[in-house]
């Protein structure tokens, strides 16, 4: 069987229990060398064949998978964070479908969750925003025109930008065309949950400088929005007068 496994955001103990077990059983591992923590590879079997996909093309990845599957090997394709975001797994799954090879996907902790944990932040605050926009600036991969940052910024929702740390002047300018202001709080989270993680906070107008002053050009998330600092309302779920299937609410005292 072939398993696409989310490796988590960085720290090697942030892989899921299922992912760790699959890794320990694997006879072939193909890992995303640019971002997966190499410490995770310490738990593979001694006879495991390990490939770094940073040096491979899609067809080479598929060849390794096909060869392994034909000889009945357990194969793990280890992707950073959760494979469903910017993981290029669809093209691999389509390639496997075309070859009639079965596979499964084991989710992981995405870096946008790792970053929130490091920031001790909640993206969805009542009274402030109930939406998180996950996007990127156009780079090697284009972004559809209707998803332009300036258009997405019109919502003023919490926003997480992947793959954009090298494009911050244009990111800032585009975001300022929407509902964010020069003072909207932002953070750059470099290598969230890794030992050399760096967090820089500041107002949107300083975004490019914040990265430059800290030498950050890649492996970072940009998070933007009032959720980083703004006021909010208490949740209804834990309000004393709110009844749920599990708890009978009481009327608040007059
Ligand atoms: N599937 C991954 C994202 C892969 S795209 C996930 O769910 O996290 C690669 C981009 O993800 C990087 O350019 C960077 O923007 C972001 N990224 C991945 N790991 C990161 C980390 N530990 N800290 C900050 N950003 C990270």
> Which atom of ligand 1 lies at the shortest distance from residue 34's CA?
9
Which residues are bridge partners to 156 per DSSP?
Answer: none
Residue with the bigger pLDDT between 248 and 202: it is: 202
* Residues with a CB atom less than 6 Å from ligand 1: 9-10, 35, 79-82, 85-87, 110-111, 114-115, 162-163, 189, 191-194, 218-221
DSSP label at residue 86: S
Residue 254: what pLDDT? 57
| Distance from chain centroid for Cα 181 | 25
| Ligand 1 center to 220 CA (angstroms) | 7
DSSP label at residue 87: -
- How far apart (Å, rounded) are the C-alpha atoms in residues 135 and 221? 10
Residue 57: what pLDDT? 97
Q: What is the pLDDT of residues 96-138, one digit of tens each?
A: 999 999 999 999 999 999 999 999 999 999 999 999 999 999 9
Token pair belonging to 129: 């925003």
> Which atom of ligand 1 lies at the shortest distance from residue 84's CA?
1
> Which atom of ligand 1 lies at the shortest distance from residue 79's CA?
1
Q: What is the pLDDT of residues 137-182, one digit of tens each?
A: 999 899 999 999 999 999 999 999 999 999 999 999 999 999 999 9
Residue 47: what pLDDT? 96
User: For 75-79, 86-90, 205-209, 239-243, which range has the lowest pLDDT when averaged over its residues?
Assistant: 239-243
Distant-in-sequence, close-in-space partners of 190: CB < 8 Å, separation ≥ 6 = 165, 196, 197, 198, 199, 200, 214, 216, 219, 220
Task: For ligand 1, pick from 4, 15, 35, 107 the residue to mutate: most ligand atoms within 8 Å of CB.
Answer: 35
| Ligand 1 center to 241 CA (angstroms) | 41
Relative orientation angle of helices 90-99 and 58-70, to the nearest 10 degrees:
40
Residue 250: what pLDDT? 84
Q: What is the pLDDT of residues 190-241, one digit of tens each?
A: 999 999 999 999 999 999 999 999 999 999 999 999 999 978 888 888 888 8
| Ligand 1 center to 161 CA (angstroms) | 9
Strand (E) or helix (H) holding 29: strand 28-31
| Ligand 1 center to 163 CA (angstroms) | 7
Distant-in-sequence, close-in-space partners of 245: CB < 8 Å, separation ≥ 6 = none
- How far apart (Å, rounded) are the C-alpha atoms in residues 219 and 109? 16
DSSP label at residue 104: E
- Asked if the model's pLDDT at residue 59 lies above 60, the reply is yes
Strand (E) or helix (H) holding 117: helix 111-119
């Amino acid at each position: 069987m072939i398993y696409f496994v989310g490796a988590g955001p960085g720290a090697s103990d942030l892989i899921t229990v299922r992912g760790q077990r699959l890794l320990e059983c694997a006879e072939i591992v193909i890992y995303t060398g640019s971002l997966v923590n190499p410490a995770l590879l310490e738990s593979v079997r001694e006879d495991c064949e390990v490939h770094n996909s940073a040096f491979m093309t899609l067809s080479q990845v598929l060849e390794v998978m096909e060869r392994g599957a034909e000889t009945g090997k357990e194969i793990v394709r280890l992707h950073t964070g959760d494979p469903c975001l910017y993981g290029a797994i669809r093209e691999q799954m389509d390639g496997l479908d075309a070859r009639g090879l079965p596979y499964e996907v084991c989710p992981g902790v995405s870096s946008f969750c790792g970053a929130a944990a490091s920031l001790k932040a909640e993206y969805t605050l009542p009274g402030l925003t109930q939406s998180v926009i996950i996007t990127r600036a156009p780079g090697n991969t284009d972004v559809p025109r209707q998803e332009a940052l300036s258009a997405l910024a019109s919502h003023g929702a919490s926003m997480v930008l992947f793959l954009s740390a090298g494009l911050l002047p244009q990111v800032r300018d585009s975001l300022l065309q929407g509902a964010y202001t020069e003072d909207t709080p932002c953070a750059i989270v470099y290598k969230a949950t890794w030992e050399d993680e760096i967090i820089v906070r500041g107002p949107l107008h300083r975004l490019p400088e914040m990265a430059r002053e800290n030498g950050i050009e890649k492996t970072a998330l940009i998070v933007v929005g009032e959720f980083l600092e703004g006021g909010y309302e208490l949740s209804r779920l834990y309000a004393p007068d709110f009844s749920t299937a599990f708890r009978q609410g009481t009327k608040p005292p007059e």
